[in-house]
């Protein structure tokens, strides 16, 4: 059964034949290669493109190892696209395997050639429409801003959304429970047993992600140990505010290790570059400014998060918050953690300044939505707690409480929408900023 990734196919179609390099990024094993080499390729063929005009090369495969040399890669593609009267669709999978080498035409130690030189040269050919995939943002996203400049479009792919997972699974009754536990890495949807799914996710971390981060960043043994502990710390505190000082203290108290702030900051950046985690900054709703610290970290896939801590901490409220964050980012929105300042009277009659939290401030161009994530609002005190920060915001942008309670969508007297988590995930019409 094919999992349809219509959101990403539509994004590819929007930039097809625009003369720019299409760069498909995302965590390894999230479905980038399948999207490009199967779904998009099938669309092209059905749209009338002859298979001879589709050039695909997977640099991860051993039979293509010679094309990791950028000169040989370029020569190979040019040799397959000689007919200037035809339009060729070139797909290079896992471009990060293309190595950086010295330009033999120049003195030793001079200019080096890498995959961006190949991509930019190919993009200038009027009969080539170029697509590349990669699994490391340090090699790709930053190059878009520098070397690609205005000649590249990045399309970031995430693991399966709940909508995609739900439509792919035969067991609809257990879909939410399974998604909370195993997340949306595409291959897990084909596995049947608990043992198969958990082993697969654990092995992804140990044999793929950690190995990639260590090798790419040339980490020493003590840095690798710190990286693994940092992953455990981050996985056990999703949805909680964090900063470098807290993590430094936790290394000292829990792991009995003295790890510098610089090292912790660097390791967190490595995890972000590998698309394992993402950070959400805090935004002062009334003051209109950002706070540098503390902030929140979320895992790109909750199944990977659960696997990292051996499926021990399954607090549905934190996992639900992570899923909502991923869905909002997946839909193309900019997401911050909101802070609303409130001045209230204490029991002694004194004025007290408090910082109330809004789980998500969601932005797209000039539009905005405020969202609270609450596993339940069935208790009066919990309802008041979730409403408090939203009611302190006096602008007219929509406000939503997404809950795990089995409810139909409804509005209270102040126009705040109450929405079940599954309704939110399965129907974009409840939250659409464009």
Q: How far is the C-alpha of 350 from the C-alpha of 348, rounded, in Å?
A: 6
242: which DSSP letter? B
Cα→Cα distances 60→202, 250, 293, Å: 22, 38, 39
Sign of the CA dihedral running 365, 366, 367, 369: positive
Q: Which residue, among 179, 190, 208, has the nearest Cα to 322 in the 3D structure?
A: 179
Q: Is the full-model pTM beyond 0.75? A: yes
Q: How far is the C-alpha of 30 from the C-alpha of 185, rounded, in Å?
A: 6
Determine if the peptide bond prior to 294 is cis (ω within 30°).
yes
- Return the pLDDT at 400: 96
Both structure tokens of 376: 């339940």
DSSP-assigned letters across all residues of 64-77? GGGGGSHHHHHHHH
- Return the pLDDT at 354: 83
Say if CB 226 and CB 210 are below 8 A apart: no
Q: List the chain residues with pLDDT less than 70.
A: 1, 106-107, 109-110, 136-149, 346-347, 349, 433-434
Say if CB 416 and CB 390 are below 8 A apart: yes
- Return the pLDDT at 4: 86
- Return the pLDDT at 358: 96
Cα→Cα distances 332→13, 35, 206, 429, Å: 16, 18, 30, 14
Q: Determine the 3-state secondary structure of 410 from DSSP.
A: strand
What's the pLDDT tens digit per position in 305-322? 999 999 987 789 999 999
Cα→Cα distances 228→49, 209, 350, Å: 47, 11, 46
Helical ranges in 35-95 per DSSP H: 41-46, 70-79
CATH number of 6-156: 3.40.50.300
What's the pLDDT tens digit per position in 144-171? 445 666 788 889 999 999 999 999 998 8
Q: How far is the C-alpha of 313 from the C-alpha of 234, rounded, in Å?
A: 12
Domain with CATH 3.40.50.300 in the chain: 6-156
Burial string for 249-285 (b: 16+ CB within 10 Å, else e) reads ebbeeeeeeebeeebbeebbebbbbbbbbbebebbbb
Please, which residues have CB within 8 angstroms of residue 86's CB and are 6 or more apart in sequence?
Answer: 53, 127
């Amino acid at each position: 059964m094919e999992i349809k990734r219509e959101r990403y196919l539509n994004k590819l179609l929007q930039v097809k034949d625009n003369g720019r390099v299409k760069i498909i990024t995302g965590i390894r094993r999230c479905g980038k290669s399948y999207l490009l080499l199967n779904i998009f390729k099938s669309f092209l063929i059905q749209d009338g493109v002859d298979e001879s005009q589709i050039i695909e090369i997977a640099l991860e495969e051993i039979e293509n190892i010679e094309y990791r040399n950028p000169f040989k890669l370029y020569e190979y593609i040019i040799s397959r696209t000689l007919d200037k009267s035809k339009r060729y669709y070139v797909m290079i999978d896992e471009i990060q395997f293309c190595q950086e080498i010295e330009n033999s035409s120049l003195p030793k130690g001079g200019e080096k050639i890498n995959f961006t030189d190949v991509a930019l040269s190919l993009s200038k050919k009027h009969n080539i429409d170029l697509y590349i995939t990669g699994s490391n943002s340090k090699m790709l996203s930053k190059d878009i801003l520098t070397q690609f400049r205005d000649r590249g479009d990045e399309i970031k792919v995430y693991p399966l959304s709940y909508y995609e997972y739900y439509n792919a699974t035969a067991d609809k009754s257990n879909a939410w429970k399974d998604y909370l536990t195993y997340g949306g890495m595409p291959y897990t949807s084909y596995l049947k047993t608990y043992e198969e799914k958990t082993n697969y996710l654990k092995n992804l971390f140990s044999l793929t992600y950690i190995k990639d981060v260590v090798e790419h960043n040339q980490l020493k043994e003590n840095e690798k140990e710190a990286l693994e502990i940092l992953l455990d710390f981050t996985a056990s505190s999703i949805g909680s505010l964090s900063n470098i000082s807290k993590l430094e203290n936790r290394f000292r108290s829990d792991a009995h290790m003295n790890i510098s702030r610089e090292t912790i900051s660097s390791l967190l950046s490595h995890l972000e570059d590998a698309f394992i985690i993402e950070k959400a900054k805090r935004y002062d709703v009334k003051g209109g400014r950002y706070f540098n610290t503390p902030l929140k970290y979320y895992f790109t896939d909750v199944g990977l998060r659960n696997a990292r801590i051996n499926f021990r901490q399954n607090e549905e409220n934190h996992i639900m918050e992570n899923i909502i964050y991923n869905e909002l980012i997946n839909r193309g929105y900019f997401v911050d953690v909101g802070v609303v300042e409130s001045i209230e009277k204490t029991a002694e009659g004194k004025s007290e300044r408090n910082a109330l939290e809004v789980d998500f401030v969601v932005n797209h161009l000039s539009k905005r939505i405020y969202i609270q994530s609450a596993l339940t609002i069935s208790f009066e005190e919990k309802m008041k707690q979730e409403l408090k920060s939203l009611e302190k915001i006096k602008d007219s942008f929509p406000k939503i409480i997404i809950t795990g309670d089995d409810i139909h969508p409804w509005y209270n007297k102040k126009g705040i929408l109450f929405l079940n988590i599954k309704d939110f995930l399965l129907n974009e019409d409840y939250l659409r900023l464009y």
